[in-house]
Structures are given as structure tokens and as C-alpha cells.
Amino acid sequence: MPLWKQIFIALTLGLLLGITLNQTGNSEYAASLKPVGDLFLNGIKMLIVPLIFISLVSGVTALGDMSTMGRLSLKAMLLYLATTAVAIMIGLALAAIFQPGTGIDLGAAQAVTAADSPSLVATLVALIPANPVAAFAQGNVLQIIVFAILFGLAITLAGDTAKPVKVFMDALAEVFYKFTGIIIAFAPYGVFALITWVAGTYGFELLAPLAKVIGAVYLGCLIHAVVVYAGLIKFVARLNPIRYIQGVIEPAIVAFSSTSSAGTLPITMMSAERNLGVSRSVSSFVLPLGTTINMDGTALYQGVCVLFIAQAYGIDLSLVQYATIILTATLASIGTAGVPGAGLIMLSLVLTSVGLPLEGVAIIAGIDRILDMARTSVNVMGDCAVAVLVAKSEGQLDEGLYDTHQVLKSADVATQVSPVKA
């Protein structure tokens, strides 16, 4: 059975079991399964830092020259930021249509202390790690990305002298792709445990009062994936959008259950290469970059939640404030980590930029996990879409593999995960 079908079945069964346990007053049994999900997440998290560094170094050296890397960077950045801005506008439009804040009294919400968000200048200064070892230890994705790119450039510029280092990094990348396959083979069990815990803990009680917010975010994510991503694949890349959707099912479901785009990176890379035909040199550069920069789902969530809070407090926003929300959320997405809960930090920053009460974060925090699941899925789907678009424009897309769509199966996921090469 294809891996994505196993994961989908596990997701469905976990959801049904969790809701049943919640409604029968046995939520503690759902909580008892959480350690199984945590084991799976820990296995994926174990791969994040080394995989980002190794795959980026290998990807940069595979590009061959700085002009190619500069071209890829520009294309990826423009696509990521453009789709993020569109996502925010979709979120704002849906919130204006559905009016989710009407009838909800946020005055009773408990105030929360919002986490401090770094300024744009501070984010730019922090790009260069003063201590690379500390960046690795702390899991600072932005700093690791910059260090990896510079390290890969240095290997390229060193020429034949550094060839043994390049060969070693390429071999190490192969080892970690195999390592990834071993961990991903356990995805159905991890997804089942995580979804059972989420459904068993939250049930229907928390979802009902804020159904409009949840509905608007989920509808927005669906629109963004089907209209924006599939539309770009269809009209820009001139490829079958159905194949794209089939190819991103696996990372989307894992992202839905883990709520971490960084944590889903191993399976995102594997799916982009094996399912969508993206070359190793493009995927290993564009996807780790997207893990930090591309936050379309999170940006869409910002649009819905900011307008929800404004409506709940009876505050009318001006056109200038709407423009500020779009600009701030787009720029903030660059420095937002692809980990669970990072959206709340970004939300605090956007609220501050337009003078809305930070107390509104309190009620959003109560359903953040539910919203995080949808927005994270959109984030990784966006990463894959941009990887396909960039690969197509560079002549680095195996269209034969894209059209045939070789789905991963549980029997070979740990033994045949070597993706298509550039």
C-alpha cells in the first residue's frame, strides 16, 4: 500500500478514536498515546539540523557556480514572497466576508504576554552566526542556512583542492536520505498517535464557539492550495496540477499532524524528488530555504486572525492598516521559524504593527493547534510548488517522473529513497 494511503488511514482512524474518547470522557487514554507521536517527532527533529546543512552544502556545490545559485535564490525568493502576500489577502478577504469576530466577547479573555519578535534589522544582523556551533546546537535555521550556503560556495571556489570534501558531503547526503527513509517508514504510527491526542484533548467543545475562525482558515488554505498553487503549476509551469496534488499528499499529511514545516522537511524533500521529479540540486537548495521563508499558510492565518480580533474589539481598520498588515506579515514570514506555535509570535508582531490589542492572542492561542495543522500543510505544499516551478524554469525537472508519479510504498521507503539526481 502506498505510504500516503497508510498515513491517511492512520489520520482518519486517529481522528475517530480521539473524538470518541473525548466524548466518552476518556481523554486520558488519548493522552497516553502522545509519547508514541513524540517519538516519531523526535526522530524527524533529529534529522532537521544535519539534513538542512548537508543538503544545502551538497545542493550549492551541485549548482557549480554562483550565478546559478543567485538565479535560483532570486526566483525562489520572489515566488515565496509573492504567494505569501496573496495568502494574506485571501485571509483578509475571507475574514471580511464571514465576520468571525462578530458576537465574540474578547473582553473576558485573559491577557497574555506576547513573545518579543526581533526587528527586521536585528533579523538581518543575526543572519551571520557569530558561533556556528551554537547555531547548530540551538537549531537556528536561518543561521544554519546562511552558514551552509557560504560553506558550499567556499567548496566551489576552492576547485579541485576541495573535491574530496564535495564527494564526502554528497556521500553524507545519501546516507541522510536513507536515514530519512527509515524514520518516515514509521509515519503512520506517529500520525495516528498525534491525531488521537489532538482530537481526544480538544474534542468539539473548543471548536464550536470559534467555528467561523477555524472554517475561514481551513477554507482559505484550501483555496490557496487549489487556486494559487495548482494554478501556478497549470498556467506557469504548464504541468498537470492533479499530479502536483498527488505528489504533495505525503508531506501535507505529515505536516498536518506534526504542525512543523521544518520537521516535515525530510519527507518534503523526498516527495519533491521522487514524486514530482525535482532534481536534487534544486530541491536541496529551494526546500530548506522555503522552510524558513515560505509561510503562506501562516500568513493566511494572520489575515483571518487579525481581522477577527479587530472585529471582536469593534475596531475598524483603515486602508493604510490593511496595507501595513500585508507588508508586515510578508516580511515577518522571513524570520519566522517553521516550528509549532511560531505563528503566535508572528501574530503578536502584526497586531502590534497596527495597534490592535495583544490580549486577542489569548483566545487564538486556545485554538492555535487546530489552525496550525492546516496552515503548516499549506506551507509545505507551497515549498513543493515553488521547487517545481524553479526546477521547470531551470530545466531541472524530470517531467517523465512527474507525470508517472511514483508513489512511495512502505516496503521500499527505507531502502529506495535515493531521489532523482540533477
User: Mean pLDDT across the chain, nearest whole number?
Assistant: 80
Domain carrying residue 40: 3-404
Q: For 293-304, what is the mean pLDDT?
A: 87
Q: Between residues 116 and 90, which one has the greater pLDDT?
A: 90
pLDDT at 275 over 70: yes
Residue linked to cell 464550536: 208
The answer to whether position 422 is within a domain reads: no
The closest of 256, 189, 275 to 13, measured between CA atoms, is 189
Does residue 324 fall inside a structural domain? yes
**What does the pLDDT look like over 121-134, one tens digit per residue?**
776 787 788 998 99
> Residue 156: inside a domain, yes or no?
yes
Question: Which is more confident, 227 or 414?
Answer: 227
* 264 vs 334, higher pLDDT: 264
Confidence grade of residue 410 (pLDDT, cut at 50, 70, 90): very low
Q: What is the pLDDT of residue 213?
A: 87
pLDDT digits (tens, 9 = 90+) for 81-103: 899 989 999 999 999 998 887 76
Percentage of the chain surpassing pLDDT 90? 22
Query: Is 10 inside any structural domain?
Result: yes
- The predicted pLDDT at position 66 comes to 67
Q: How many domains does the chain have?
A: 1
pLDDT tens digit string along 139-191? 776 688 788 888 988 998 888 898 999 899 888 888 887 887 788 788 788 88
- pLDDT confidence of 108, banded at 50, 70, 90? very low
pLDDT mean over 297-313 = 87
Distance from the Cα of residue 21 to its chain's centroid = 29
The pLDDT-based confidence of 55 (bands split at 50, 70, 90) is confident
Question: Which pTM does this prediction carry?
Answer: 0.69
Average pLDDT over residues 267-296: 87
**Inside any domain, residue 193:** yes
Mean pLDDT, residues 52-65 taken together: 75
> CATH number, domain at 324?
1.10.3860.10
pLDDT in the model for residue 110:
39
Q: What CA–CA distance (Å, rounded) separates 414 from 74?
A: 34
Of 153-167, 189-203, 333-347, 374-388, highest mean pLDDT? 374-388
15 pLDDT exceeds 70?
yes
* 417 located within any domain: no
pLDDT at 331 over 70: no
pLDDT surpasses 50 at 317: yes
18 domain residue, yes or no: yes
In a domain, 410, yes or no: no
Q: What is the pLDDT at residue 222?
A: 95
